[in-house]
Structure 1
């Protein structure tokens, strides 16, 4: 579904991603793990059109999307839940969700998806007219996920969904990610909590200072001594 081939990404003179290649097949949860500053978020931001790669290609369902503007990439069927949630604090829960569907014109489909989001996140329905900035961290994460789902993506990019959340909420969020995947959405997950990420992913890539150094079956990587020492606390 997604094929990234030999991309290089720069922030000014800083070479952040160095010849990275990875694939995500339809129906999978693929996770990208690595230390802080390894370039995980940079890869997601490049896929979703917020950064432009220098060289290499990014193919989604056979189409090269590298360099397309972000709103066009949403129209292609890719949606991102950004790191730090980035909800619109001064808008209500409902307005945030409506903005998630900004590329769509199918009113009936939007209504249907709004119901789906409320079924998946009942707390959002209870707070439908509340300002998003007044929600708890966990509720804001649910809103960011709900907003991304409103574009009806075929590929969902998740950037650090567990950041700043209590352990119980992290379990809940990861269970929801699995549900979203089982309902037919392919997931590319960037996550600092490597244990949790590897426990739900089918495959994984390890990123070190902008280079992909390991890839394979998530369970095999979770059992690897090198990965355990570096990312799983021994």
Structure 2
């Protein structure tokens, strides 16, 4: 098992955000976590990547417990987190943003090879590599964020709301890229409000409501669940 999240309890002050959240991600999978705003999706991702410390429970990656490991060391272990809202460096160029993703790496030849791989996957970034990232469109900024995440050569890529604010055409493009990244060998944990698209690309899915996992199964099983169809896929009756 690549990632095991066991009985996570997370608080913001006196408010409990996660109530015993547990799930697993196997090597080679795309696993999606869906739910409404405020359900605890981003809190879960931030806890896995070391940005938040849980009050109870554990996070195990490749057999090693990491819930007390600093975030920068978690990156070195092989987890890369592309956060909600992209969080790129607007006053740096596209090229400089991408290089920031490789800060844990030393081999200049391998870094150059990774840069070339990212440019091939996102041709628009090659065209705009000298442009300030803050001047890009929302879709291009998402590509920068994803490309930066790939620059650390992660075994597990965490994507938090990659389609947020994008046009339907760009959403389809981003999800096609997610599938391609997975086919090339990277395991993906996907948090996404666009439940329909997430369930189209995922192997397995978990539904999070008010800090609790309430439904889980294969993506097809979750997509066919009447509660999911009503609450997240816009179907009535």
- Relative to the length of structure 1, the TM-score reads 0.99
2:203 is aligned to 202
Instruction: Give the C-alpha shift of residue 229 in structure 1.
Output: 0.5
2:225 is aligned to 224
Gaps of 5+ in 2: none
Give distance in 2, aligned partners of 1:65 and 1:9.
15
Instruction: Give the C-alpha shift of residue 107 in structure 1.
Output: 1.0
1:75 matches 2:76: yes
Instruction: Give the C-alpha shift of residue 130 in structure 1.
Output: 0.4
1:12 is aligned to 13
Give distance in 2, aligned partners of 1:224 and 1:207.
14
Instruction: Give the C-alpha shift of residue 195 in structure 1.
Output: 0.2
Kindly report which structure 2 residues correspond to 1:1-234, keeping only aligned pairs within 5 A, or say none: 1-234=2-235
Give distance in 1, aligned partners of 2:234 and 2:84.
23
Q: CA RMSD in A?
A: 0.5
Q: Equivalent residue of 1:88, what SS?
A: coil
Give distance in 1, aligned partners of 2:128 and 2:168.
23
Give distance in 2, aligned partners of 1:195 and 1:73.
31
- Deviation digits for residues 130-172 of structure 1, max 9, x if unmatched? 0000000000000000000000000000000000000000000
Q: Equivalent residue of 2:20, what SS?
A: strand
Give distance in 1, aligned partners of 2:129 and 2:202.
32
Instruction: Give the C-alpha shift of residue 220 in structure 1.
Output: 1.2
Give distance in 2, aligned partners of 1:80 and 1:129.
24
Instruction: Give the C-alpha shift of residue 225 in structure 1.
Output: 0.9
Q: Equivalent residue of 1:188, what SS?
A: strand
- Deviation digits for residues 155-199 of structure 1, max 9, x if unmatched? 000000000000000000000000000000000000000000000
Runs of 4+ aligned structure 1 residues displaced above 6 Å come to none
Gaps of 5+ in 1: none
Instruction: Give the C-alpha shift of residue 230 in structure 1.
Output: 1.0
Give distance in 1, aligned partners of 2:41 and 2:151.
24
Aligned residue pairs, count: 234
